[in-house]
């Protein structure tokens, strides 16, 4: 298995588990500002620990891209939360997850990454897996504000992949990029939490769940950064975005959600996409 696919799958697992925990935690009425602040508090030490472990805590001019990525990720995640508050998650989440198409267009256009028919077929399977998992796209498009916010989040997440590649090309290491990204996110998360006026809960699930999610997301970003250092974003980004398959399987196993035919088709397409990417 190519190294970029191997580490992209690690990123998929970490992100899929984090999304499942967030889904499970919704019953506790998690507060957005508090959750994002605690998540970032765990993200930073995890990113630093992983960078130290990999001996990648080095300064480089490319770290500026990491800091920018952190700010983009925070704004994108906030847009997702706001769009889901007023729109249909079944339609809007797949729109956001199609951000790998933005990454592919940007890296092919500006970095000269190659896109052959095999990679094109794998991208098509990944897109089909994501879209099949959703529903109600026509009605979502008519909800202009939520749809626009989801579309903006898709573009911002897509730009992150390009900036990862630019940061690596400028001499930054994957671990250091993620550390810089964590501080970029904190630069917005802290003032947002203060301005929101939410009570910061420091006990129970409101505390440990975002901390655990932060550690998982940091690990996911380090894994995807390593994957980017080995191969093209055209291959790495779509695989990482298929994390919803693992989230769905965990929800079926532990939350007793039903496996409908649409989800089954989505899972099959996702598996086929990874297999094709593994042989590009």
Handedness of CA 231, 233, 236, 240 (dihedral sign): positive
Cα separation of 183 and 41, whole Å? 10
The pLDDT value given to residue 139: 65
Is the predicted pLDDT of residue 31 greater than 80, yes or no? Answer: no
The one-character DSSP state at 28 is G
Q: How far apart are CA 133 and CA 129, in angstroms?
A: 6
Give which of 143, 24, 160, 22 is closest to 92, Cα–Cα: 143
CB 12 within 8 A of CB 239: yes
Burial string for 93-121 (b: 16+ CB within 10 Å, else e) reads bbbbbbbbbbbbebbbeeeebeeeeebee
Reported as a single tens digit per residue, the pLDDT across 144-157 is: 788 899 899 999 99
Query: Do residues 5 and 277 touch, judged by C-beta distance below 8 A?
Result: yes
Residue from 207, 187, 204, 221 nearest 43 by CA: 221
pLDDT at 263 over 90: no
Where do the domains of the chain lie?
Answer: 3-277
pLDDT of residue 165: 97
DSSP 11: H
Q: What is the mean pLDDT of the chain?
A: 89
Distance of alpha carbon 236 from alpha carbon 216, whole angstroms: 18
pLDDT value at position 146? Answer: 85
Please name the residues in contact with 194: beta carbons below 8 A apart, sequence gap of 6 or more.
none
* Chain segment 199-258, per-residue pLDDT in tens: 666 677 888 998 999 999 999 999 999 999 999 999 999 999 999 889 888 988 998 888
If DSSP codes are grouped into helix, strand and coil, which group holds residue 48? helix
Phi, psi angle pair for 216, to nearest 5°: -65, -40
Name the nearest CA neighbour of 270 among 126, 86, 167, 141.
Answer: 126
Radius of gyration of the chain (CA): 18
DSSP letters, 13-29, are HHHHHHHHHHHHHGGG-
pLDDT, one tens digit per residue, over 47-95 is: 999 999 999 999 999 999 999 999 999 999 889 878 877 777 667 788 8
pLDDT (tens digit, 9 = 90+) per residue, 97-127?
Answer: 899 999 999 999 999 999 999 999 999 999 9
Looking at the whole model, is its pTM more than 0.85? yes
Cα separation, 243 vs 258, in Å, equals: 18
């Amino acid at each position: 298995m190519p190294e970029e696919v191997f580490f992209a799958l690690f990123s998929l697992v970490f992100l899929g588990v984090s999304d499942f925990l967030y889904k499970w935690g919704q019953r506790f009425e998690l507060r957005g500002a508090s959750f994002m602040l605690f998540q970032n508090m765990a993200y930073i030490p995890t990113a630093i620990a992983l960078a130290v472990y990999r001996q990648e805590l080095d300064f480089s001019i490319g770290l500026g891209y990491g800091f920018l990525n952190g700010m983009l990720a925070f704004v994108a995640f906030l847009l997702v939360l706001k769009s889901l508050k007023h729109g249909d998650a079944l339609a809007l989440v797949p729109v956001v997850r199609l951000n790998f198409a933005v990454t592919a267009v940007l890296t092919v256009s500006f970095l000269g990454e190659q896109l052959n028919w095999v990679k094109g077929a794998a991208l098509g399977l990944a897109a089909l897996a994501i879209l099949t998992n959703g529903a109600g796209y026509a009605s979502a498009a008519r909800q202009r504000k939520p749809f626009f916010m989801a579309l903006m989040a898709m573009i911002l997440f897509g730009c992150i992949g390009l900036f990862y590649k630019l940061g690596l090309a400028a001499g930054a290491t994957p671990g250091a990029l993620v550390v810089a990204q964590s501080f970029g996110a904190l630069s917005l998360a802290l003032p947002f939490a203060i301005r929101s006026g939410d009570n910061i809960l420091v006990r129970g699930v409101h505390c440990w769940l975002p901390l655990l999610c932060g550690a998982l997301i940091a690990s996911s970003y380090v894994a995807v950064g390593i994957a980017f250092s080995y191969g093209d974003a055209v291959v790495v980004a779509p695989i990482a975005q298929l994390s919803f398959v693992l989230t769905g399987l965990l929800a079926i196993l532990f939350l007793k959600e039903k496996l409908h035919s649409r989800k089954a088709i989505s899972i099959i397409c996702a598996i086929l996409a990874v297999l094709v990417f593994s042989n590009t």
